[in-house]
Structure 1
Amino acid sequence: MMSSSKVEGLSTTAASVEGTPGRSPLLCSLRMLLVDATLITGALFFAVLTRFDGVLPAGIRDSFPRALGLLLAVRLVALVWLGLHRWSFRRSGINEAVRLVMANVAASIVFEFLRLVFFARAVPGQVVALEFFATTTLLGIHRFAPRMARQWYLEQRRSRDDGAQRTLIVGAGSAGDLLLRDLMRGSGSPWHVIGLVDDDPGKQGTFLNGKPVLGVIDALPELMTKHRVTQVLIAIPRLSPERTRHILSLCRHQSVSFKIIPASFAYLDEKISAAMLHDLSPEHLLPRDAIAFDHQEVHRLVSGRRILVTGGAGSIGSEITRQVAGHAPASLVVVDINENELYLLVRQLQARYPGLPVSSVVADIRDLDRMLRIGQEFRPQYVFHAAAHKHVPLMEDSPEEAIKNNVFGTQNVARMADACGAERFVLISTDKAVMPSSVMGASKRLAEMVIRNIAANSRTTFCAVRFGNVLGSAGSVVPLFKQQIQAGGPVTVTHPDCTRYFMIIPEAVGLVVMAGLGGYGELCILDMGAPVRIAELAANMITMTGLVPDKDISIVYTGLRPGEKLEETLMSDEEELTQQVRNRIKVARSPAPPRDFDLQLLRLDRAARAGDVLAVKLALKDLIPSYTPSKPRNVLAPGSALLMDGVNPQGSGGPRIPPLSLGAEQTVSA
């Protein structure tokens, strides 16, 4: 079997002229021109013999040397003028072919003028025309035949290679053309391209770089079965999430894996290569367009400010620190109870922004004195509060911890911001706070009420930013599904009709920064696009890995867990949407907290400290009438009835807490 180097040697100049190892560019160019001169001479002989039926008349015989000399001079000058003496046999394409034709046309025009002046009678015009076609053909064969032979050989070798994946390219446009050329150029490509698919009717039945356009995208299942395809490469720039999900649904019963060109291809200026392909990911499936941010506006808001982030080692908090760190704040304080993740994050920030003063503080937001000392020490101007317990089922089992952390921890951080004179306080809230069915959601709704209550008598501007799930955050479904798929399944989904709002972390945080610092209102709601069916997300993630849902990996429905809902909303009926202040950010107004809000918080605090689950849920129900508690895990603890009787948690000197009073419509579900 011939090696690829032998295939490249089918021409006397088969190696690339540009950068040929061991050969100077000048020597390669001279050899290229020598071969060109030989071919031009042969083309002229062919033209003359063809015109005169193989016999050279006396007039032609006498003037032939001068005509040949002028023709060689004119053609070689034209080739050098357009840079065709420097040639790459691997990278030549349509642009080089056009330049070759232009050089030959220009040279023929000049030679025709010289013929009319010097050889009008001796050399007929038909000879010039015949010589043009012969020269163009021979020079084209000389330059392109080695590449075509090499590509043919590589394709034959890949087709016989059992390790090469039989591949279809989705998209026969410019991106598909560039990708296909790169795949065919390399000798070590793991993909054997069978053909392409495209929905453009004008491309059906045509060929692209020798590969056929086999049909439309909807024909993918039949084509994959017919051609035993194992890999699909998506080469459509900025493919919409709807089309991406459609392609996955078409291939759901096929064992194929997927790769896609980057969304930034439009800015790559014909520099795409197979190395740029990356795996299809859940981010490509979100039913909304990508969000463009005004980085200059963010820089204006953040630059020169002292910023503090609680929960800074978590998924959302760490992204907040990364984004604000890139806009030159005066200082950045990262607060978290998780010292390991906090240490790693701060090291990353210091390595990336060596001139930025970054401080790491290990602290529990439930410790008010500690938070006040932190505020006095660092005097933050902006406080982003991302610290929270957010796992719904776990908080149903430990509701007192959700209250201590999400409610009173938020109250402590808000008091710190007020005490140190912070300009803005931004609470990271959740769609689960709307008509909550879980303790976690109720605790976040109560956190929104807490900061609004403090804002009434504070110079600090308080804002809650509410949004849904973020892809890839700790504890979310995407990392869980990935782990389950890698383990061979099953993938667990609570309910076939369960839907959630999703956004990728950088976009969600970017909107949080814009909404929280923009001064738009007390409650900002992010537009998350359309909700996503969790079952469909699970099936698509299985398909993206090259496996077949319910065949290779099963999907098991486990039922809704305590506190979970089938679908989430971003705003309740009682909340008033005031306006959409900018793209993806809306402002709403929530009802004011009840007049006895502080007293009811005291009751809730006492219940949480006592670990009384039922009393916690009863207190939450009084504070948030739209809260629908799940079934309690245990009965009321002995002695906890004192809470119902209005015990005074602060002793005889403090205010007496009124007993809970539940109307018939507020009865806790059993």
Structure 2
Amino acid sequence: MKGFEKTEGLRTNDSSTEGAPRSSPLLCSLRMLLVDAVLITGALFFAVLMRFDGALPAGALDVFPRALPLLLTVRLVTMVWLGLHRWSFRRSGINEAVRLVMANVVASIVFEFLRLVFFASALPGQVVALEFFAATTLLGIHRFAPRMARQWYLEQRRSRADGVQRTLIVGAGSAGDLLLRDLMRGQGNSWHVIGLVDDDPGKQGTFLNGKPVLGVIDALPELMTKHRVTQVLIAIPRLSPERTRHILSLCRHESVSFKIIPASFAYLDEKITAAMLHDLSPEHLLPRDAVSFDHDEVHRLVSGRRVLVTGGAGSIGSEITRQLAGHAPSSLVVVDINENELYLLVRQLQARYPGLPVSSIVADIRDLDRMMRIGQEYRPQYVFHAAAHKHVPLMEDSPEEAIKNNVFGTQNVARMADACGAERFVLISTDKAVKPSSVMGASKRLAEMVIQDIAVTSRTTFCAVRFGNVLGSAGSVVPLFKQQIQAGGPVTVTHPDCTRYFMIIPEAVGLVVLAGLSGYGELCILDMGAPVRIAELAANMITMTGRVPDKDISIVYTGLRPGEKLEETLMSDEEELTQQVRNRIKVARSPAPPQDFDLQLLRLERAAHAGDVHAVKSALQDLIPSYTPSKSRNVILPGSSPLLADVNPPVPGGLRGGPHPLGVEQAVRA
């Protein structure tokens, strides 16, 4: 309690300088009132002097002994009544200034009434008006001059300090106002605010907390050069991605760093401080509106259900597990071949949700027997299949591995879901499956066809959710750019005109969960907004770190790698867009797999297990006519293969109903 009382005392009696011994509240108040009394006396004398133009007539001051005690009593009582005797020289602001003016107005009205009653003839009325202005001015100087002097001193010291950031604030609204106040109040920060910019014509040429609004946002380049600015603080919490990219493009030739008030603080204007500033990130540049979710809807879908996630330790899979865990499933099974990341993820989930039954299973989705045993043991109701090889150039070099994992691994997990009576199976697909030019994209398109084929005879509802790139996923372009920028460059971009769709991981996964569990259709496509030019993304990321593209860090164009496209699409010409079921989610219908799908899969599987790259790519072209292999050293034009010639017509039982009792090799030979 003693500590609490001491803290309260410091808060209410902040009249001394920081670090100095604190006086008692009573002594501080008496000192304040004593100075006020001296200033009021001087104001009355000044008013009388001004009334007579400095030439006082005989007896002009005879009224002082009667008027001064009344004036002092009225003013000091009013001050105490409105709490102006307890004053913080460091935290006083506009509200305190208004209270001071109100106190003087009330006191002058009362004093005028007393003058009319007691000495109307001895004291002219003009003196009361002049005294009001003089007293208000002197009392205001008394209370605000120390703060202004301290602020000026801190600004001067900060401007001369080593490592100081000469700063411009973008946005002169309420957020900019509160941020500027906090920056000017703090002694520990290294920001020396030069001024502000804002596009509002009414704010041009005005001052905010003593700092000028220097111009519009488009004037940033000239202002940065003129004032040697090294830091830009964006104080517009809901600034659109287009405007953010525009600001970066304006500053691209200047070595300045950036920070921003995140959108999550947009409704906390009264609490905005410098501590809320975040570095600009690629997420701020995405050309789409933020996605909002109905968490109650997701909770109703997930709560109390048994869920299994494959690839649960990966970038997408781990976010799926985290989001699902927050909606109270009855059990959560996480399957992955990467035991280290799986261990860390499950520990994180157990720490965050101690009451949730979480099972971690190290398993290879290519092992059908293992997957069947997992399904029989845990009986999942929802299966999210995120396990996949996704690196395009690597899969061009090892196409058989992409087939074994992405196609037949998916088939194994889908069979498991069917065999254990799962209600829903959700496949994480990719925009690279559309008119694929890479083995990875073709394998994911074939995975979509596999679950479409199995769904024909299964009680399980199968759905593929297709979307583009996610920012920050393992092996993606954003972490690569960050590493290259930290290393001093160069930043490598495949092509100046290369574009990609982007979405942040939590938003993409949230839409995946909704699309997959809501039963909208067999193929759901996420609306990713407008595509992003990779070269522009690289330049903006360099600019955000305070360096100049192609000056401090160079951008090198390396050419498209094997299997890469210049631009991606989310739907092929053959797919019929049926409806947009909700914001950001569209449903399409893909063409049915060919009649001899089982036979062709057998051919592909045998080619993959034999490691015959030529046969793998040729079989992919037969299965997916829109697949166009890249001109890499591993690409072979369509043609026959000895492996394909040995395959007989479809084997009874095929692959749809489950593994053939003779096994793949014997089934092909049968």
- Relative to structure 1, the CA distance from residue 48 to residue 533 in structure 2 (aligned partners, 3 Å threshold; closer, same or farther) is same
User: 1:237 matched to which residue of 2?
Assistant: 237
For the residues of structure 1 that align with 2:263 and 2:142, how far apart are their CA atoms? 38
Displacement of 1:141 in angstroms is: 0.6
User: 2:659 matched to which residue of 1?
Assistant: none
For the residues of structure 2 that align with 1:454 and 1:117, how far apart are their CA atoms? 102
- Unmatched tracts of structure 1, length 5 or more: 1-11, 658-670
User: 1:253 matched to which residue of 2?
Assistant: 253
Displacement of 1:21 in angstroms is: 5.9
Decide whether the 8 Å contact of 1:199 with 1:215 is kept in 2.
Answer: yes
Displacement of 1:656 in angstroms is: 6.7
User: 1:661 matched to which residue of 2?
Assistant: none
User: 2:655 matched to which residue of 1?
Assistant: none
User: 1:620 matched to which residue of 2?
Assistant: 620
User: 1:384 matched to which residue of 2?
Assistant: 384
- 2:178 equivalent to 1:178: yes
Q: What SS does the aligned partner of 2:194 have?
A: strand
Displacement of 1:331 in angstroms is: 1.7
Q: What SS does the aligned partner of 1:31 have?
A: helix
- 2:132 equivalent to 1:149: no
User: 2:452 matched to which residue of 1?
Assistant: 452
Matches within 5 A, 1:190-589: 190-589=190-589
Displacement of 1:634 in angstroms is: 4.7
For the residues of structure 2 that align with 1:326 and 1:16, how far apart are their CA atoms? 49
For the residues of structure 2 that align with 1:307 and 1:65, how far apart are their CA atoms? 90
Displacement of 1:510 in angstroms is: 1.0
1:165-202 per-residue CA deviation (whole Å, 9 max, x = no partner) reads: 22222222222222222222122321222222222222
1:221-274 per-residue CA deviation (whole Å, 9 max, x = no partner) reads: 222222222111111221111111111111111111111112123211322122
User: 1:641 matched to which residue of 2?
Assistant: 642
Displacement of 1:509 in angstroms is: 0.9
Q: What SS does the aligned partner of 2:620 have?
A: helix
Matching residue within 654, 659, 662 for 2:667: 654
Decide whether the 8 Å contact of 2:397 with 2:634 is kept in 1.
Answer: no
The amino acid across from 2:425 in the alignment is F
**Which range moves more in the overlay, 117-126 or 298-307?**
117-126
1:360-387 per-residue CA deviation (whole Å, 9 max, x = no partner) reads: 1111111111111112222222111111
- Relative to structure 1, the CA distance from residue 634 to residue 246 in structure 2 (aligned partners, 3 Å threshold; closer, same or farther) is closer
1:331-352 per-residue CA deviation (whole Å, 9 max, x = no partner) reads: 2111111111111111111111
For the residues of structure 2 that align with 1:387 and 1:179, how far apart are their CA atoms? 45
**Which range moves more in the overlay, 427-436 or 457-466?**
457-466
- Relative to structure 1, the CA distance from residue 129 to residue 305 in structure 2 (aligned partners, 3 Å threshold; closer, same or farther) is same
Decide whether the 8 Å contact of 2:602 with 2:664 is kept in 1.
Answer: no
User: 2:163 matched to which residue of 1?
Assistant: 163
User: 1:5 matched to which residue of 2?
Assistant: none
The amino acid across from 2:504 in the alignment is I
For the residues of structure 2 that align with 1:56 and 1:352, how far apart are their CA atoms? 85
Decide whether the 8 Å contact of 2:396 with 2:634 is kept in 1.
Answer: no
For the residues of structure 2 that align with 1:347 and 1:26, how far apart are their CA atoms? 57
Displacement of 1:295 in angstroms is: 1.4
Decide whether the 8 Å contact of 2:166 with 2:194 is kept in 1.
Answer: yes
For the residues of structure 2 that align with 1:489 and 1:321, how far apart are their CA atoms? 35
Decide whether the 8 Å contact of 1:491 with 1:555 is kept in 2.
Answer: yes
User: 1:591 matched to which residue of 2?
Assistant: 591
Decide whether the 8 Å contact of 1:13 with 1:32 is kept in 2.
Answer: no
Displacement of 1:439 in angstroms is: 0.7
Q: What SS does the aligned partner of 1:267 have?
A: coil
The amino acid across from 2:420 in the alignment is C
For the residues of structure 2 that align with 1:520 and 1:370, how far apart are their CA atoms? 31
The amino acid across from 1:455 in the alignment is A
For the residues of structure 2 that align with 1:82 and 1:326, how far apart are their CA atoms? 51
1:504-560 per-residue CA deviation (whole Å, 9 max, x = no partner) reads: 111111111111111111111111000000011111111111111111111111111
User: 1:137 matched to which residue of 2?
Assistant: 137
For the residues of structure 1 that align with 2:93 and 2:86, how far apart are their CA atoms? 14
Decide whether the 8 Å contact of 2:501 with 2:529 is kept in 1.
Answer: yes
Displacement of 1:466 in angstroms is: 0.6
- Relative to structure 1, the CA distance from residue 651 to residue 432 in structure 2 (aligned partners, 3 Å threshold; closer, same or farther) is closer
The amino acid across from 2:477 in the alignment is V
Decide whether the 8 Å contact of 2:164 with 2:191 is kept in 1.
Answer: yes
Displacement of 1:358 in angstroms is: 1.5
Decide whether the 8 Å contact of 2:615 with 2:643 is kept in 1.
Answer: no
The amino acid across from 1:445 in the alignment is R
- Relative to structure 1, the CA distance from residue 655 to residue 136 in structure 2 (aligned partners, 3 Å threshold; closer, same or farther) is same
- Unmatched tracts of structure 2, length 5 or more: 1-12, 652-661
User: 2:4 matched to which residue of 1?
Assistant: none
Displacement of 1:90 in angstroms is: 1.9
- Relative to structure 1, the CA distance from residue 490 to residue 129 in structure 2 (aligned partners, 3 Å threshold; closer, same or farther) is same
Decide whether the 8 Å contact of 1:494 with 1:558 is kept in 2.
Answer: yes
Decide whether the 8 Å contact of 2:434 with 2:445 is kept in 1.
Answer: yes
The amino acid across from 2:573 in the alignment is D
Displacement of 1:587 in angstroms is: 0.8
Displacement of 1:463 in angstroms is: 1.1
Displacement of 1:13 in angstroms is: 7.9
- Relative to structure 1, the CA distance from residue 347 to residue 134 in structure 2 (aligned partners, 3 Å threshold; closer, same or farther) is same
Q: What SS does the aligned partner of 1:654 have?
A: helix
The amino acid across from 2:37 in the alignment is A
Q: What SS does the aligned partner of 2:667 have?
A: coil
User: 1:668 matched to which residue of 2?
Assistant: none
- Relative to structure 1, the CA distance from residue 488 to residue 59 in structure 2 (aligned partners, 3 Å threshold; closer, same or farther) is closer
The amino acid across from 1:244 in the alignment is T
- Relative to structure 1, the CA distance from residue 307 to residue 70 in structure 2 (aligned partners, 3 Å threshold; closer, same or farther) is farther
- 2:16 equivalent to 1:15: yes
For the residues of structure 2 that align with 1:568 and 1:651, how far apart are their CA atoms? 35
TM-score of the pair, normalised by structure 1:
0.91
Decide whether the 8 Å contact of 1:48 with 1:56 is kept in 2.
Answer: no
- Relative to structure 1, the CA distance from residue 518 to residue 61 in structure 2 (aligned partners, 3 Å threshold; closer, same or farther) is farther
Displacement of 1:606 in angstroms is: 0.9
